[in-house]
Amino acid sequence: MAILPIVTVPDPLLKKVSKPVDKVDDKLRKFMDNMLETMYDAPGIGLAAVQVGKLLRILVIDIAPDDEDPNPQYFINPEITWTSEDLATYNEGCLSIPEQYADIERPAECKVTYLDYNGDAQEIHATELLATCIQHEMDHLNGVVFIDYLSKIKRSMYVRKVKKFIKDGAEEKKE
Ligand code: NI
């Protein structure tokens, strides 16, 4: 397995719409293994393929608490088929917007159809953190990140902070 470089804002790639996967094969599974490894290493609870530079409709998610066994979930070509009228707010973060967080309101529950790691069709009814996480990651597939829900002023402040965070990190490595 390999750790892949993570794309961060304001990279224009993050604004692109990802394409459906047409075949779930060993090559794709290897890529998904690498996505998962990259997400665990970051560490994060969700990652979309575009965040590691591939415009494919794939998500990996693991919301298991730290003191429980890992529970990786793979979503290929996910489609939201239903969302609840009830909303929920979570303080969201994103590996493409490191160290920045904001309260984002979304439907509290959703139903999603997708292909799993083996390419088999699945459907789930997601609630709580999983519902939020799936919707956040699915936004990535459509070129949307959570700061797009904020005001223009806040958004540019977040992007500035990320640029500084990346620059400071690069300077630390040089020393
Ligand atoms: Ni994200």
Q: pLDDT (tens digit, 9 = 90+) per residue, 2-48?
A: 999 999 999 999 999 999 999 999 999 999 999 999 999 999 999 99
Mean residue pLDDT of the chain comes to 96
Q: How far is the CA of 22 from the centre of ligand 1 (A)?
A: 24
Domains and CATH numbers, the chain: 12-174 (3.90.45.10)
Distance 139 CA to ligand 1 centre (A): 8
CA of 69 to the centre of ligand 1 (A): 23
Q: Which two tokens stand for residue 72?
A: 């990786």
CA of 126 relative to ligand 1 center, distance in Å: 18
The arithmetic mean of pLDDT across residues 61-86, rounded, is 97
Rounded Cα–Cα distance for residues 70 and 66 (Å): 8
Catalytic residue among 137, 171, 172, 175: 137
* Contact predicate 27/34, CB 8 Å: no
137 is catalytic: yes
What is the pTM for the complete model shown? Answer: 0.95
Q: Are 112 and 124 in contact, with CB atoms under 8 Å apart?
A: yes
